[in-house]
Amino acid sequence: MKFITAIFTLSLLLSSTLKSQDTLLSQRKWAVEVNALWPIFPGNIYSARVLRQVYSNNSTSADVYLGFAHRPFEFRETEGEFSNSAVVFGYRQYIWKGLNAEFYNAIGPGRVRNSVVNGKDYNSVDYEIGMLAGYRIHFLKKKRTPLYVNLMPVGFAYVAYQSNPHPIVGQTEERPIYFGKVQVGIRF
């Protein structure tokens, strides 16, 4: 965790000397994104968000966002029938051109039916934190279209709190989850 914090701090310091994104695109303050990867891999997860640019200057810009994530019930061999939903809010810092780092929080109900460990049902309020790194690519940039893809191959999440933790086969506590995203969006 110290390593990730050091990388983020260094990138913020370096960002003041780097060039900004395209001026016309940075004038578009709002965006909507959907995750195009998660419904396919790992599957059965649906996510969307609304973003608002909070600042843009000669060297960098930043967005804040609010959205949701939902996973309908599915069977997991180490847990049972699992489902969760969450309100997701976060901050994305553009460091250089499309290179960005994102920090998020997610809070919502987590549910396990018929636990494979003890057969019980668990309903919990879960709080997750996470960080991702990626690069935003605009489509048809010469035509100044606001469509883009944010490829975020490097990320991790950690369930920091559960009001009613459920048992997981082979684990005594939650572990970090490493993952990536492919966010498709439009700025307006």
**pLDDT for 141:** 66
**CA-based nearest residue to 72, from 61, 84, 63:** 84
pLDDT tens profile 95-138? 988 999 999 999 999 999 999 999 999 999 999 999 999 999 98
Total domain count, the chain: 1
> What CATH number is attached to the domain comprising 130?
2.40.160
The b/e string for 2-36 (b: 16+ C-beta within 10 A; e otherwise) is eeeeeebeebeeebeeeebbeeebbeeeebebbbe
> 145 CB contacts (<8 Å, ≥6 apart)?
138, 139
pLDDT, residue 142, reads 66
Q: Which residue range(s) make up the domain with 93?
A: 2-187
**pTM listed for this prediction:** 0.82
Residues 6+ apart with CB under 8 A from 82: 71, 73, 74, 75, 76, 110, 111, 112
